[in-house]
Amino acid sequence: MSLFLSIFFALVSVLHSVSSSSGNLSESPCPLNFDAVRRLVNEGPKRPMLTDMNTQCQIVLQGIRLLRAEYLRTNGYFLPPVNSSCYESCRNFVTEFVQGFDIRTSCGYYPELISEACMNITSRAQFESLIPKSKLQEIKRHCSQSLEKSFACDSCTSKLSSLSDILRHGPGNGNGNVSDCSGYPFLYAAAVVNQFGPIDRATARCLFSLYFSARQSSLNKRHEIVIYGIVLGSVIGILGAFTAFWFLFIRSKKSEERVVKVTDNDEPSLVLESRTSNLARFKIEEIKAATMNFSRENIIGKGGYGNVYKGMLPNGTEVAVKRFKNCSKAGDANFKHEVEIIASVKHVNLVALRGYSTATVPLEGHQRIIVCDLLHNGSLYDHLFGSGMKKLSWPIRLRIALGTARGLAYLHYGVQPAIIHRDIKASNILLDEAFEAKVGDFGLAKFNPEGITHLTTRVAGTLGYVAPEYALYGKLTPGSDVYSFGVVLLELLSGKKACEIIQGKSVLLSDWAWELVKEGKALDVIEENMPEMELPEMMEQYVLTAAICAHPILQARPTMDQIVKILETDVPVHGVDARFWFSSFYDQGLCSINFTTTRISPRKAYSPEVPAHTDKSEYAGCFPGANPPTLKSDMKVRGTLATDLMAFG
């Protein structure tokens, strides 16, 4: 039982007691049964266990669902009254008692998490009217018994997982919200079907992934003697092991001086960094052991900077190891400072950075390495454009879009100073097993090997995704990420790549989509035969949202916070006006080039060369799966005040 979970339920119950005593407040007290959950927590031993941000957010989410299930059992409703103070109580207590943790900024959880119904279903009767009787009977057969055993739990959850589709497409519910439809069947099973109810350890573990341990009974005298004997023997064994370890440690330190040098570079100003940061600094030997000495069999991605390897840490955790080649140790101080900052940015929709390494290895040169969480479900690029992949259903695509938007909104508004990603694209959006989006490679665009270009002002990004004002003038703002997000959303809607060659000509997805929007054919953007599509009016709204995000004029684009609100609440999109004439912005054959160029001066013509060796892979994040190779090409850039927009020739 984690300390975080104990704090969560125990403190919510305190807040509930306080709110209950204040009957004159404008908001009514939260009616959820915190006392029952508090008893469940207090009955178990409190053994603290550190958890990462994603685990903490999942505990909060599943804990709220457990409380709602108990409310459904006793009151017959899935949701507490709208005017109750449940959301703010949860948010305030987490912020107050878990320092630096806020369910809104850290997890992206908004009031709708508690107050918004799936497909407008608020009561048990409404739920049962939508589900066929045969399905309800099936659930009762598999979920009514104790869920203590794994086979009973698996049998129940497999039946529940199929009900979310029925809820989304039930008669008369075409315009409802689908954000928590996946959780409703589990709430219903725990509250109505299971004979033990949601406040049962086995039910909570099976249906909500919450683990409560029973308090152990007091030991008799004989057991105490056995325990004392074991403890005493353990202490003696530990002291002996410590002595042996110290002897071996002294010997290994002496032998290291005779081994061929492998230098871990460390500037004096950064010696104390490990004491002030949770970011791990790995030795090169540890990285080699994790990746089987950078084995070819462990390669899961390639790029111009180097390779990405699958690795396993000594504790069994699988990680992705991104290796930058051909570096010089002169930039290590800045690299270490940046990764420290990046590692401090925690959000459920951002890829977690676990650690790094810098080392000079004989015959291999100087290297920089970052270690990230490994996501087995690959990237959005893999699922949209990979061979043999099943088409993603619309609910999954919407979940990916919303998760990506929340991650970017956190980078723009949840940290100080704000972080602009600069290279949002399908291959940088990684997916976990539940298809939750994780934005990767934020803040790492500058960490390319030194000497790759002599240009001093660089535009980092991928053609087709880069905002015009950034590509032309080097003007980088949060709106640049909004443009790239709009292109990714168009890819999700259409199943087409950001830039493709059609009949010998390069076609931008954003231009193609905008032309259809202008002609009143927004629905033609939607990929044919997409599973589980919404009503046409809703799908059109998503197309308009993507189009306005990819607007060529910076000031016309919404902010990422506004986009999150649009995607969460289906706010109508206005202001999609005529596309400007910059559709000739890209010339033939440049669709798949990642590029670096100088900032444009609007006062005089110029044509700087971009070196032919400039090449960055479509793979730009820590995730499994290779990506299409990029092209190597010479580009000349010409710009004048008269042309305003640049053409590649």
348 pLDDT higher than 50: yes
**Which segment, 442-456, 494-508, 579-593, is predicted with the most confidence on average?**
494-508
What integer is the mean pLDDT of 181-195?
90
Element at 142 (helix H, strand E):
helix 133-143
Question: At 508, which CATH number?
Answer: 1.10.510.10
pLDDT computed for residue 451 by the predictor = 36
Distance CA 378, CA 541 (A): 28
In a domain, 424, yes or no: yes
Q: Is the pLDDT higher at 587 or at 111?
A: 111
pLDDT computed for residue 647 by the predictor = 30
Q: Cβ distance 426 to 379 under 8 Å?
A: yes
End-to-end C-alpha distance for the chain, whole angstroms: 63
Question: At 309, which CATH number?
Answer: 3.30.200.20
pLDDT computed for residue 404 by the predictor = 97
423 among known catalytic residues? yes
421 lies in the same domain as 337: no
What integer is the mean pLDDT of 181-199?
90
Distance CA 173, CA 501 (A): 41
Q: Cβ distance 186 to 208 under 8 Å?
A: yes
322 marked as part of a ligand binding site = yes
pLDDT computed for residue 506 by the predictor = 82
188 pLDDT higher than 60: yes
173 pLDDT higher than 50: no
Query: Of the given ranges (233-242, 313-322, 335-344, 524-533), which has the lowest mean pLDDT?
Result: 233-242
Query: Of the given ranges (153-157, 474-478, 536-540, 630-634), which has the lowest mean pLDDT?
Result: 630-634
**Which segment, 21-30, 268-277, 488-497, is predicted with the most confidence on average?**
488-497
Confidence of residue 192 (pLDDT cuts 50, 70, 90): very high
What integer is the mean pLDDT of 507-533?
92
392 lies in the same domain as 367: no
Distance CA 439, CA 406 (A): 10
The two tokens of residue 636 are 């000349």
Query: Of the given ranges (231-235, 280-284, 294-298, 392-396), which has the lowest mean pLDDT?
Result: 231-235
**Tokens 């599509």 belong to which residue?**
533
Taking CA 207 as the corner, what is the angle to CA 204 and CA 209, rounded to the nearest 5 degrees? 65
258 pLDDT higher than 50: no
114 lies in the same domain as 204: yes
510 lies in the same domain as 616: yes
Distance CA 470, CA 487 (A): 15
453 pLDDT higher than 60: no
Count Cα atoms within 13 angstroms, Cβ side, for 338. Answer: 16
Last residue of a domain, one of 373, 401, 434: 373
Last residue of a domain, one of 341, 373, 405: 373
What's the one-letter identity of residue 8? F
495 pLDDT higher than 90: yes
SS3 content of the chain, % helix, strand, coil (to 5): 45, 10, 45
* Residue in 373, 423, 441, 481 annotated catalytic: 423
Last residue of a domain, one of 373, 389, 417: 373
What integer is the mean pLDDT of 211-226?
54
140 lies in the same domain as 187: yes
344 lies in the same domain as 407: no
DSSP 63-120: HHHHHHHHHHHHHSBSS--TTBSHHHHHHHHHHHHSTT--TTTTT---THHHHPPGGG
Q: Cβ distance 309 to 320 under 8 Å?
A: yes
What integer is the mean pLDDT of 217-227?
53
Looking at the chain, the whole-number percentage of residues with pLDDT higher than 90 is 22
Q: Which domain holds residue 363?
A: 268-373
353 lies in the same domain as 388: no
| CB neighbourhood size of 314 (10 A) | 8
Confidence of residue 226 (pLDDT cuts 50, 70, 90): low
The pLDDT tens digits for 71-123 are: 899 999 988 888 887 877 777 666 665 666 777 777 877 776 777 778 788 89
Distance CA 500, CA 590 (A): 9
594 pLDDT higher than 80: no
In a domain, 235, yes or no: no
Helix, strand or coil, per DSSP, at residue 534:
coil
| CB neighbourhood size of 310 (10 A) | 20
Q: Cβ distance 33 to 67 under 8 Å?
A: yes
In a domain, 247, yes or no: no
351 lies in the same domain as 406: no
In a domain, 220, yes or no: no
Q: Which residues pair with 319 in a beta bridge?
A: 311, 373
> How many folded domains does the chain comprise?
3
Confidence of residue 464 (pLDDT cuts 50, 70, 90): confident
In a domain, 239, yes or no: no
Whether this prediction's pTM lies above 0.75 is answered by no
In a domain, 246, yes or no: no
478 lies in the same domain as 585: yes
Q: Cβ distance 582 to 516 under 8 Å?
A: no
In a domain, 263, yes or no: no
131 lies in the same domain as 9: yes
Helix, strand or coil, per DSSP, at residue 585:
coil
pLDDT computed for residue 223 by the predictor = 54
Taking CA 102 as the corner, what is the angle to CA 96 and CA 107, rounded to the nearest 5 degrees? 155
466 lies in the same domain as 556: yes
Radius of gyration of the chain (CA): 28
pLDDT computed for residue 14 by the predictor = 42
Phi-psi region of 474 (alpha: psi -120 to 50; beta: other; left: phi over 0): left
**Average pLDDT of every residue of the chain:** 73
How, if at all, do strands 437-439 and 365-373 pair? unpaired
Strands (E), 318-364: 318-327, 353-361
How, if at all, do strands 505-508 and 437-439 pair? unpaired
How, if at all, do strands 353-361 and 280-281 pair? parallel
pLDDT computed for residue 8 by the predictor = 52
Q: Which residues pair with 497 in a beta bridge?
A: none
Distance CA 505, CA 23 (A): 69
What integer is the mean pLDDT of 141-147?
90
Distance CA 646, CA 631 (A): 21
pLDDT computed for residue 540 by the predictor = 92
Distance set, CA 215 to CA 38, 42, 121, 203, 218 (Å): 14, 9, 38, 17, 9
Looking at the chain, the whole-number percentage of residues with pLDDT higher than 70 is 66
339 pLDDT higher than 70: yes
Q: Which of 185, 186, 190 is nearest to 202 (CA)?
A: 190
Sheet of 353-361, strand order: 280-281, 353-361, 365-373, 318-327, 306-312, 299-303
What integer is the mean pLDDT of 392-396?
92
Distance CA 106, CA 345 (A): 9
The pLDDT tens digits for 524-561 are: 999 999 998 888 888 999 999 999 999 999 999 999 99
pLDDT computed for residue 179 by the predictor = 57
Q: Which of 206, 98, 101 is nearest to 147 (CA)?
A: 206
In a domain, 245, yes or no: no
403 lies in the same domain as 542: yes
The pLDDT tens digits for 6-45 are: 545 544 454 444 444 444 445 678 888 777 776 776 665 4
Q: Cβ distance 79 to 69 under 8 Å?
A: no
Longest dimension (CA), the chain: 94
